[in-house]
Amino acid sequence: MDEACQKCGAATDGDHRTLMMKCGYEMSELKIPFIMHEMESRRFYTLRVCKDCRSDWMRSIQYWFNTPMPREPCGSGIYVRDFGSNREITLEEYREKYDND
């Protein structure tokens, strides 16, 4: 039985991959169609994807791990909750993300 890739929708012709993330954090916040599983009181999340989308995911993880992100304070005094972390953002970033006027 063929499955469609959960990311791009392409038929996988039976050659699909399962991406799995183990995390104690609620992943539904990401608005990604993870399938949640529970085993021994622990949650993990999966996606069924084609080879190309799996490759893109791996490249993204590699970039995240190998690219230092500056954590310098910007001095705005505006702190937001960002997927479980408190981060200071600029007024422009705040307006772009949170002002819906």
Contacts of 16 (CB under 8 A, 6+ apart): 3, 5, 48, 49, 50
Residue 101 has a pLDDT of: 57
Residue 59 has a pLDDT of: 96
pLDDT tens digit sequence for 23-43: 777 778 888 888 888 888 888
Whether residue 1 is predicted with pLDDT greater than 70 in this model: the reply is no
Whether residue 66 is predicted with pLDDT greater than 90 in this model: the reply is yes
For the whole model, what pTM was predicted? 0.67
